[in-house]
């Protein structure tokens, strides 16, 4: 796919301030604009690069209606919708623009053999319903928590966790299967061929942060992923022994004991409620909730799922998109 042309760059620059950020994790870890994400798309190791799709009202128009950004998941037949512009409350046609952009995202991913398109949508602002009408389903909800500074009584001696090893993959997969509802496993592709064998998954995907393991009497009972960014940190926790929730959390926080003081975020899904009390005791504040949504693509899309305006179907070149998306 081609690189953005001058009209596309202008559109992203003009519309980015009125758009909706859907990738909260990267937004707080590495604050950036959609223009920066589009610019970093060809950089293979950039954490913020994203492919950009621009929507125009006609084949001859240089003024765009909106744009979407999509980030591929490395090594997986999946991608995330990470930004949409304009925002739903910014103009009367915003809902229609979102439908068309989401259809084009599906078309692009399906044409490459992609199987799942994900989105993380703030609950309660109308965006979830738009995604649902566009064919997405909500498979889980996630509370977002923030801690502005480490607990004053925390010491490095509380680091009871050890570094994750390659041989932990099977035990982690078993814990994931034990704790995760089957519909969520299906939504996340963990029951598909590429999801078997402990090769992928949030708790043990080393590309998404440093992995730590909590063992009690030689048995793996918890896992933590600690992701360090330029402006913040993000925790992801998994626990099969609720009585160890404080030990797991404080151990994960202790891994940041000597790190620069930055806000610490943590996402807890609705079926992981055993962790919320531990977060409260550690001083975390609940910021809100988001819906985790997925659209399954059962076959390679040959045509857009809904009729697109002529510009998206055919212009001087295909719908504008940044090449080489970065997961």
**pLDDT tens digits, 232-287:** 999 999 999 999 999 999 999 999 988 889 999 999 999 997 899 999 999 999 99
Beta strands in the chain (DSSP E): 20-21, 51-55, 66-72, 78-85, 116-122, 137-147, 162-163, 210-216, 219-228, 233-239, 264-269, 285-296
Structure tokens at 228: 């360090």
Quick one: average pLDDT of 131-159?
90
Quick one: average pLDDT of 95-112?
94
What Å distances lie between residue 137 and 78, 187, 303, CA to CA? 15, 9, 21
Whether the predicted pLDDT of 325 surpasses 70: no
Its pTM stands at 0.85
Q: Is residue 194 very low, low, confident or very high in pLDDT (cuts 50, 70, 90)?
A: low
Higher-confidence residue: 52 or 189?
Answer: 52
Q: Is residue 158 very low, low, confident or very high in pLDDT (cuts 50, 70, 90)?
A: confident
Q: H or E element: which one contains 185? A: helix 182-187
Rounded CA separation 18/34 (Å):
11
Rounded CA separation 144/322 (Å):
30
| Residue linked to tokens 């009584």 | 153
Model pLDDT for residues 56-83, shown as the tens digit of each residue:
987 667 789 999 999 998 878 899 999 9
Q: Is residue 320 very low, low, confident or very high in pLDDT (cuts 50, 70, 90)?
A: very low
Q: What percent of the chain has pLDDT over 90?
A: 63
Q: Per DSSP, what are the bridge partners of residue 281?
A: none
Whether the predicted pLDDT of 197 surpasses 80: no
Whether the predicted pLDDT of 116 surpasses 50: yes
pLDDT value of position 44 = 79
Rounded CA separation 159/148 (Å):
20
Q: Is residue 209 very low, low, confident or very high in pLDDT (cuts 50, 70, 90)?
A: confident
Model pLDDT for residues 292-318, shown as the tens digit of each residue:
999 998 654 444 444 443 333 333 333
Q: Is residue 166 very low, low, confident or very high in pLDDT (cuts 50, 70, 90)?
A: confident
pLDDT value of position 58 = 74
pLDDT value of position 253 = 94
Residue ranges of domains in the chain:
6-115+297-313, 145-291
pLDDT value of position 299 = 52
Residues 6+ apart with CB under 8 A from 111: 300, 301, 302
pLDDT value of position 9 = 93
- Average pLDDT for the chain: 85
Q: Per DSSP, what are the bridge partners of residue 117?
A: 79, 295
pLDDT value of position 203 = 52
- The architecture of the domain spanning 145-291 is 3-Layer(aba) Sandwich (3.40)
């Amino acid at each position: 796919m081609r690189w953005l042309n001058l009209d596309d760059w202008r559109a992203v620059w003009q519309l980015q301030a009125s758009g909706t950020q859907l990738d909260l994790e990267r937004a707080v870890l590495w604050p950036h604009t959609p223009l920066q994400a589009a610019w970093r798309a060809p950089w293979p190791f950039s954490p913020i690069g994203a492919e950009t799709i621009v929507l125009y009202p006609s084949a001859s128009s240089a003024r765009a209606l909106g744009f979407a950004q999509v980030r591929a998941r490395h090594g997986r037949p999946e991608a995330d919708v990470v930004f949409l512009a304009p925002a739903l409350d910014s103009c009367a046609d915003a809902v229609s623009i979102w439908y068309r952009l989401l259809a084009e995202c599906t078309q692009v991913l399906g044409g490459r053999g992609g199987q799942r398109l994900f989105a993380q949508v703030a609950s309660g602002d109308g965006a979830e319903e738009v995604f649902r009408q566009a064919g997405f389903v909500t498979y889980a909800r996630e509370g977002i928590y923030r801690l502005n500074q480490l607990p004053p009584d925390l010491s490095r001696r509380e680091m009871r966790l050890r570094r994750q090893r390659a041989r932990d993959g099977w035990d982690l997969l078993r814990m994931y299967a034990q704790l995760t509802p089957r519909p969520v496993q299906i939504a996340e592709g963990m029951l598909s061929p590429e999801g078997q064998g402990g090769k992928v998954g949030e708790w043990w995907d080393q590309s998404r942060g440093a992995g730590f393991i909590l063992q009690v009497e030689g048995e793996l009972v918890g896992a933590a992923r600690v992701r360090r960014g330029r402006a913040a940190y993000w925790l992801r926790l998994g626990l099969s022994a609720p009585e160890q929730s404080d030990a797991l959390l404080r151990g994960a926080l202790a891994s940041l004991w000597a790190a620069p003081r930055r806000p610490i975020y943590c996402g807890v899904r609705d079926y992981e409620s055993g962790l919320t009390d531990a977060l409260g005791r550690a001083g975390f504040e609940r910021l809100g909730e988001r819906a985790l949504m997925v659209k399954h693509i059962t076959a390679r899309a040959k045509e857009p799922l809904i009729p697109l305006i002529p510009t998206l179907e055919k212009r001087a070149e295909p719908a504008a998109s940044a090449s080489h998306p970065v997961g």
